[in-house]
């Protein structure tokens, strides 16, 4: 076998190896792409089901609220949920902060405003000490 014969055999082996490697890589890419589309479709279906259930719940709640309290204005209902001792200015500031955070496009409903229970200095020190990294 002369040098030219060895060169042609080497070149054909090299090209065959490249073709097999790239073919397998393309097959793996296709399998991963197919798996991704199947998983994303399944996730989209589950989120759609959850959204539909949530929408049904919200419609039921709205219908129940309309039937229960037609005589009371919405402002009075909100004031009943606010803890006594919280001034109207504080309620207005908290409401403005929430609406600013969520933006005007989303519907936001503040359910209740309560005072945060304060802890003693010893309780806070114990929490800080027990939550320190090693």
In-domain check, residue 29: yes
Residues 52, 101, single domain; the answer is no
Task: Identify the domain boundary among 11, 43, 68.
Answer: 68
Residues 62, 104, single domain; the answer is no
Assess whether pLDDT exceeds 70 at residue 134: no
Residues 59, 4, single domain; the answer is yes
Q: Which of 38-47, 64-73, 111-120 has the highest mean pLDDT?
A: 38-47
Residues 2, 63, single domain; the answer is yes
Predicted confidence (pLDDT) per residue in 46-95, tens digit: 888 888 888 888 888 888 877 765 555 555 555 455 556 677 788 888 88
Q: Helix/strand/coil (H, E, C) string of 53-72?
A: HHHHHHHHHHHHHHHHCCCC
Task: Report pTM.
Answer: 0.38
Contact 78, 110 (CB under 8 A): yes
Assess whether pLDDT exceeds 80 at residue 108: no
Rounded Cα–Cα distance for residues 84 and 114 (Å) = 9
Domain that residue 22 falls in: 1-68
Q: CB within 8 A of 89, min separation 6: which ones? A: none
> What pLDDT is attached to residue 91?
80
Between vectors from CA 8 to CA 4 and to CA 10, what angle results, nearest 5°? 115
Residues 29, 61, single domain; the answer is yes
| Domains: count for the chain | 2
Residues 50, 89, single domain; the answer is no
């Amino acid at each position: 076998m002369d040098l030219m014969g060895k060169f042609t055999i080497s070149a054909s082996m090299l090209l065959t190896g490249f073709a097999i490697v790239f073919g397998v890589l393309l097959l793996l890419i296709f399998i991963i792409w197919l798996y991704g589309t199947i998983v994303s479709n399944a996730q989209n279906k589950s989120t759609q089901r959850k959204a539909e259930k949530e929408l049904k719940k919200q419609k039921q709640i709205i219908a129940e609220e309309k039937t229960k309290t037609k005589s009371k204005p919405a402002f009075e209902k909100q004031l009943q949920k606010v803890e006594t001792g919280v001034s109207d200015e504080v309620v207005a500031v908290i409401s403005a902060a929430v609406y600013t955070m969520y933006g005007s496009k989303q519907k936001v409903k503040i359910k209740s405003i309560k005072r945060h229970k304060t802890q003693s200095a010893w309780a806070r020190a114990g929490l800080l000490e027990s939550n320190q990294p090693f």
